[in-house]
Amino acid sequence: MNINYYQPVCVKFGKGIVKDLGKLMKEKNLDKALMIADPFIEKSGLAEQISKAADGRVLAIISEVEPNPTIQNIDACAKKAKETGAECVIAVGGGSAMDCAKSTAIAVKNGCTGEDLIHGFDFHEALPLIAVPTTAGTGSEVTAGAVISDKAKGMKVAIFGDAIFATLAVIDPELTYSCPPSVTARSGIDVIAHALDAMTSVKANLITDTLAIQAASLAFQNLEQAVEHEEDENARNNMSLACVMAGLAFSQTGTTGSHACSYILTSKYHIPHGEACAFTLDHWFRENAKVKPELEAYSRNMGFESVEALCEKIHFLKEKFGFKITLSDAGILEEDLEEIVVSSMSSGNMTNNIAQIGANGVRKLFMNLI
Ligand SMILES: NC(=O)c1ccc[n+]([C@@H]2O[C@H](COP(=O)([O-])OP(=O)(O)OC[C@H]3O[C@@H](n4cnc5c(N)ncnc54)[C@H](O)[C@@H]3O)[C@@H](O)[C@H]2O)c1
Ligand SMILES: [Fe+2]
């Protein structure tokens, strides 16, 4: 058995740990930072507090980040980084702020634009990055990917490269406590999607499966509680832990069918990322179980009687959280399906999926959602 596991991110996890940011930066010799913050995090004053915790190591804060960050967001942040002479980047926010910061770190180091990046610019270097997540969802703090959008062209593309692994991930679950139930639900289902996708990747191995099983178990046990009882710190902390563990799994395997089908659902139908992944997640897990029989035993390890019971739980969560479940909920007409199938099939995540069901299989999967 040959296994490659490459994970260079220094992970610091704990409630209140962001207060040590200055000390953690000093240990890694990181200084002169541009902070790229989620707009909510800046408005709430948290960005300023975190900047203070960095003990004078933050040169400026910019919060020009939209959900599903755009190539224009990247250019604005890169311009600010150059003006201030930033030598590293701190991302404070959800996946959108982290992916914008990752892309900015590449753009500044290589002198390229957001547009270059979305069209496949080849990069091998980036400014050092400190990732401080404020949602429990994407795991971007430990992955080598960033998802960026060109909204004018309806494009949403994932870019990859070892250079965009963060140097330091400071995961303080307390920063997620202000997420409203809708954000907790969507980002939490993204955690489950990352874990199940990791298990159904052609690159899955026993290390990533073990991380993914534990991540999904924790998320299934805590997500409803974190959504319905915002004040339950234990549930929130467990969601942050599940998020980073799922991230550690899919940082090696990549994601699969549910993510491949999600991009057009977000870029064209404006369904937020986690909800867009959930749209086909249960259907993909059923398909994948046909080619990976271990998923039955894995489902039992995750606390379910069977693959079917796990899939029913996902469906139950989608209903409970008010997610879109059918094509008509999502505003998708039958004649739109061809474009969705073509887009889903063209995503690199699709070839990474263990069940190769082809365009016909994907069309059938969507037809079941009528
Ligand atoms: N790079 C990766 O590995 C990876 C993996 C999965 C998803 N993604 C990408 O990440 C993005 C989604 O990220 P996300 O789900 O974290 O959401 P997000 O970053 O888009 O944020 C969603 C909303 O939550 C708000 N928010 C964030 N933190 C908050 C807090 N603590 N309190 C209150 N509100 C808060 C934001 O202002 C925003 O309105 C998508 O673009 C997706 O494609 C990246
Ligand atoms: Fe995701």
Structure tokens at 366: 């969507």
Helices (H), the chain: 21-27, 39-43, 46-53, 71-84, 95-110, 114-118, 181-199, 206-228, 233-253, 257-267, 273-289, 294-301, 307-320, 337-346, 348-351, 358-367
46 pLDDT higher than 90: yes
Residue whose structure tokens are 């998020």: 243
Instruction: State residue 8's pLDDT score.
Output: 98
pLDDT grade, residue 303 (50/70/90)?
very high
- The reply to whether domains 10-175 and 181-367 share a CATH topology is no
**pTM higher than 0.85 for the full model?**
yes
Residue from 141, 147, 192, 263 whose mutation best tests the ligand 1 pocket (most atoms within 8 A of CB): 147
> Is 134 a pocket residue for ligand 1 (Cβ < 6 Å)?
yes
3-state secondary structure at position 28? coil
The domain locations on the chain are: 10-175, 181-367
Measured from the alpha carbon of residue 94, the closest ligand is 1
For ion ligand 2, residues whose CB falls within 5 Å = 190
3-state secondary structure at position 13? strand
Instruction: State residue 34's pLDDT score.
Output: 98
23 pLDDT higher than 90: yes
State the burial class of residue 203 (Cβ atoms within 10 Å of its Cβ: 0-12, 13-18, 19+): middle
Angle formed at CA 9 by CA 25 and CA 240, multiple of 5 degrees: 90
Structure tokens at 22: 């200055």
> Is 187 a pocket residue for ligand 1 (Cβ < 6 Å)?
yes
Instruction: State residue 370's pLDDT score.
Output: 84
Instruction: State residue 156's pLDDT score.
Output: 86
| pLDDT > 70 in the chain, percent | 100
Task: Centre a 10 Å sphere on the Cβ of residue 75 and count the other Cβ atoms it contains.
Answer: 18
pLDDT grade, residue 269 (50/70/90)?
very high
Residue nearest to atom 33 of ligand 1 (CA): 179
Instruction: State residue 92's pLDDT score.
Output: 98
Arithmetic mean of pLDDT, 237-262: 98
pLDDT in tens, 137-178: 999 999 999 999 999 998 889 999 999 999 999 999 999 999
Q: Report how far residue 33's alpha carbon sits from residue 110's, in angstroms, rounded to the nearest whole number.
A: 17
Arithmetic mean of pLDDT, 341-347: 95
Residue nearest to atom 21 of ligand 1 (CA): 94
| pLDDT > 90 in the chain, percent | 98
- Please tell me the CATH superfamily of domain 181-367, with its number: Dehydroquinate synthase-like - alpha domain (1.20.1090.10)
265 pLDDT higher than 90: yes
Ligand 1 centre distance from Cα of residue 94 (Å): 3
Instruction: State residue 1's pLDDT score.
Output: 82
Q: In whole numbers, what is the pLDDT of the chain averaged over residues?
A: 97
CATH value of 10-175 in 3.40.50.1970, 3.30.2270.10, 3.30.200.20, 1.25.10.10: 3.40.50.1970
Instruction: State residue 245's pLDDT score.
Output: 98
Q: Report how far residue 116's alpha carbon sits from residue 282's, in angstroms, rounded to the nearest whole number.
A: 35
- State which amino acid sits at residue 262: S
pLDDT in tens, 274-299: 999 999 999 999 999 999 999 999 99
Arithmetic mean of pLDDT, 339-343: 97
Residue from 135, 258, 321 whose mutation best tests the ligand 1 pocket (most atoms within 8 A of CB): 135
Structure tokens at 296: 């039955």
Ligand 2 centre distance from Cα of residue 193 (Å): 7
Q: Report how far residue 8's alpha carbon sits from residue 144's, in angstroms, rounded to the nearest whole number.
A: 10
Ligand 2 centre distance from Cα of residue 360 (Å): 24
Sign of the CA dihedral running 173, 174, 179, 180: positive
Residue nearest to atom 3 of ligand 1 (CA): 140
Dihedral pair phi/psi, residue 159, rounded to 5°: -110, 150
190 pLDDT higher than 90: yes
Instruction: State residue 52's pLDDT score.
Output: 98
